[in-house]
Amino acid sequence: MFLALDPDEQAISDAAADFLVNEFPLERLHKVPRDISKLEAFAELGWLGLAAPESAGGSGLTIVEEMLFFIQNGRVAGPLEILIQVLAIAAAQSAPAVSESLICGKAGVALLVEQAADRIRLIGNADARYALAVSPRCASLFELNLANCQSVMCLDSSVAMYTGDGTMIRPVLEQAGGAVWQQAQIDVSAMQLGLAERALEMIVGYAKQRQTFGRAIGAYQAVRHPCADMAVRVETARSQLFYAATAFKEGHEDAVMQTDGARLLADRAAKLNTDTNIQLHGGIGVTDEHSAHLLLKRANLLGRLFGTSRQHMASLLDVAGMPREA
């Protein structure tokens, strides 16, 4: 029983932080609002195949290391295409040719976030050849005709969004079961946790500097107590996420419930911390030149991925002896 990072895990986390902070600092989004696709570079550095088996060209590590990477990714509102690619690789496990083109970064993937009878909505890679859809029951890969989709502006302007109709996609493969869905919950929770951590650090740094009424605002309980609550939300979400990822890795019976719990708490931490960060900054917090809004907008995007809070609640309320919902 050990629920803190061991030296190897710490090393992965530090390496991910080094890479992301140097290549994708949060502030980059003020200069170049949308990340240019760098899938092949990510592949060369090994970030796409962290948890993929070595036989498939991955590093053979686990969901725990993958989670640690995505916490760091969240901290800089990093490239979303890495998340989509990693999940697509997991979905394509049984199709070596497809999997290979994904793991070396040659074929990009967009994520299907809405799929109605007459309309689809995608986010992600601008050169995507495939579209990925993930549900609690299966993960599906489609061939994608992105050229004929319409590009639309996204609230999180670092992310490309497209709409089209059902003729834009054609099924390629389907993996039954909820494994990719669970993996997605852990990865998204990790990114949400990263955002929540970054928001806390941003306001704590400012609260030590900014003076009002003759003292630093961090000395006022109206500021320091909400900061303390932000720290509580971060620690809560982190502990649960570490537990859930480890339970998932070890194949625990309650891994789904643990993962759903982690998702609810990470979503809450990201939503409230990115909000409080802006509020406590005061006027500067609503300006475009400040980075606070970048965190808020990314949290809004991530909070919509892979299910609603209603779906994440169900496993937690499924206690022995409960009536089934009509």
Partner 1 sequence: MDLRFTEEDLRFRSRARSWLKDNIPKTARPAHGAEAAQFDRDWQRKLYEHGWAGLIWPREFGGLGLSEVQQVIWYEECARAGAPHYINTTYVALMHAGPTIIACGTARQKADHLQRILTGESLWCQGFSEPNAGSDLASLKTSAVVDGDDLVVNGSKTWTTDGQHADFQELLIRTTPGSERHKGLTWVICDMSSPGITVHPIKTMLGDEHVNTTFYDDVRIPLTNVVGDLGGGWKTAMSTLAFERGTGFIGDQLALYERVNQAIRLAGKTRLEDGTLAIHDSNIAGRLALIKADTMAIRAMTLAQISEIQQSGNPGPKGSIMKLMVTGTSKSLSHLVAEILGWEFMEFNGDRTDHPWTYEYLWSWVYTIAGGTSEIQREIIADQLLELPRAR
String marking each residue 54-93 x if it binds partner 1 according to CB under 8 A? ----------x-----------------------------
Nearest to 127 by CA among 181, 179, 85: 85
Query: Under the criterion CB under 8 A, does residue 251 sit at the interface with partner 1?
Result: no
First to last CA, the chain: 40
Name the residue with tokens 């549900």.
135
Nearest to 245 by CA among 185, 317, 194: 185
Cβ of residue 181: shortest distance to partner 1, in angstroms?
Answer: 18
Cβ of residue 269: shortest distance to partner 1, in angstroms?
Answer: 10
181 to 240, contacts with partner 1 by CB under 8 A? Answer: 200, 204, 207-208, 215-216, 218-221, 223-225, 227-229, 231-232, 235-240
Query: Under the criterion CB under 8 A, does residue 307 sit at the interface with partner 1?
Result: no
Counting Cβ atoms within 10 Å, is residue 138 exposed (0-12), middle (13-18) or buried (19+)?
middle
Q: Find all residues with CB under 8 Å of 72, minimum gap 6, and list them.
A: 13, 16, 17, 20, 21, 78, 194
3-state secondary structure of 186: helix
Residues in contact with partner 1, counted by CB under 8 A, come to a total of: 59
Q: Which of 45, 250, 279, 284 binds partner 1 (CB under 8 A)?
A: 250
259 to 288, contacts with partner 1 by CB under 8 A? Answer: 260-262, 264-265, 268
Contact 241, 266 (CB under 8 A): yes
Query: Under the criterion CB under 8 A, does residue 14 sit at the interface with partner 1?
Result: no
Q: Give residues in contact with partner 1 (CB under 8 A).
A: 1-6, 9, 64, 200, 204, 207-208, 215-216, 218-221, 223-225, 227-229, 231-232, 235-240, 242-243, 245-247, 250, 252, 257-258, 260-262, 264-265, 268, 309-310, 312-313, 316-317, 319, 321-323, 325-326
